[in-house]
Structure 1
Amino acid sequence: MRADAFLEAAAALPVRSLRDLVASGGIVVVAPHPDDESLGCGGLIAEASACGIPVRLVVVSDGVGSHPNSPSHPPARLRTLRESETLAAAAALGLAPDHVAFLRLPDRFVPACGPEAEAAAVAIAAAARSCGAGALFVTWEHDPHCDHAASAALARRARALLGGVPLYAYPVWGWTLPPEAEVGPPPRGARLAIGRHRARKAAAITAHRSQTTDLIADDPGGFRLELAMLARFAGEHEIFLEVAP
């Protein structure tokens, strides 16, 4: 199926409650970079927190690839900044800092296989066991970013380690795919209504100041989320795609 038709169909998936998506237990959100959790799953995390459903957040990469040439923010300082932003975002969504894990794999070079990947999958599975997770959530395998695709592979491996719990994918950069890109069968899954959490989600995204403002202004090639991209995630629903076993 072409990406344009797939994403149009995904945006029209039926609206379901969180407990329709996850019948019991907690949830684990796997974010390739600090900020993906707020963009794609901010409403999900806020809804789970409001309903007393345990949540664990696993951030896969160290995030230092966003501003690789900044004199003021060399890698160690940038990693610390991005992790502090993530904890602030998590707090805005109702998630405690001890429920956030940072795997610190190299940004732009997250492995999809090998010993480091296996260790990351084991860590994701451990987070799932710690909250009795009934489902995992990770970025879509067709997102056009190598770390997003690798994180999807890590989550699939974690699912196998857990005995096959449900796995859902959330598109982030998938919305920027060329219309003619082939992405497989039609989407299955649901939309989650997050209207009552939009302010909290917006606050979480804003907490990632290094990605949404000119906080780091000394790297001409530094990354910044564009307004059009931010608008994509400011709506009334979040989309979660079923990932087949």
Structure 2
Amino acid sequence: VNSPDFDSAVALCLDYLTQINVRTIFVPWRRDPHPDHRAAFQLISRAKKTHHKIIEYPIWLYELAESVDAPLKREVSAFRLDINSVVETKRRAIGAHVSQITGLIDDDPDGFRLSEQMLANFAAPFEVYFEEIQ
């Protein structure tokens, strides 16, 4: 976000969104504790136009967030999407990311592995999304 290339990335993103005529954009929760996820939200929020609907989804919110990262009552409305019919496919997709669920990467002191609790969150038969209250 504080990179000299960020404005160029915003312009490229806006061009792409315009070309493919996007109406709805899914992006990580704006205050997700992961810096890349926050940057993705900033990119989309700067590139979007008024006709774009932004739907945010929490990733690390339940495991690493502090209270200031949580959604505010008048900020967004939350909803659940039933994914029971595809939850096993989702579990297999997450399982394919061995660098995030095993000790495959062992030379990065800042590296991480998805915890059992985090994996349990992803195994729920629903997903939670946030839509900004206008």
What range is the shorter-chain TM-score in? Answer: 0.7 to 0.9
Alignment pair present for 1:204 and 2:96:
no
The 1-side partners of 2:131 and 2:30 are apart by: 12
Letter in 2 for 1:185: K
Shift of 1:206: 1.1
Shift of 1:158: 1.8
The 1-side partners of 2:100 and 2:42 are apart by: 25
The 2-side partners of 1:173 and 1:228 are apart by: 11
> 1:34-53 residue pairs with structure 2 within 5 A?
none
Shift of 1:159: 1.0
Shift of 1:126: 4.1
> 1:28-67 residue pairs with structure 2 within 5 A?
none
CA 1:158/1:181 → structure 2, altered by over 3 Å: closer, same or farther? closer
Return 144-153 or 232-241, whichever deviates more. 144-153
What value does the CA root-mean-square deviation take over the aligned residues?
2.5
Number of the residue aligned with 1:156: 45
Alignment pair present for 1:224 and 2:113:
yes
Number of the residue aligned with 1:168: 55
SS at match of 2:56: strand
TM-score (norm 1): 0.47
Shift of 1:119: 2.5
Number of the residue aligned with 1:194: 83
The 1-side partners of 2:15 and 2:40 are apart by: 16
> 1:229-244 residue pairs with structure 2 within 5 A?
229-244=118-133
Instruction: Determine which structure has the larger helix proportion and give its number.
Output: 1
Q: How many residues align?
A: 132
SS at match of 2:104: coil
Q: Assess if the C-alpha contact under 8 Å between 2:25 and 2:53 holds in 1.
A: yes
Alignment pair present for 1:185 and 2:73:
yes
SS at match of 1:192: strand
TM-score (norm 2): 0.80
Task: Pick from 136, 144, 149 the counterpart of residue 25 of structure 2.
Answer: 136
Over the matched positions of the two proteins, sequence identity in percent amounts to 33
Shift of 1:118: 2.3
Letter in 1 for 2:66: P
The 1-side partners of 2:131 and 2:79 are apart by: 8
Q: Which runs of no fewer than 5 residues in structure 2 stay unpaired?
A: none
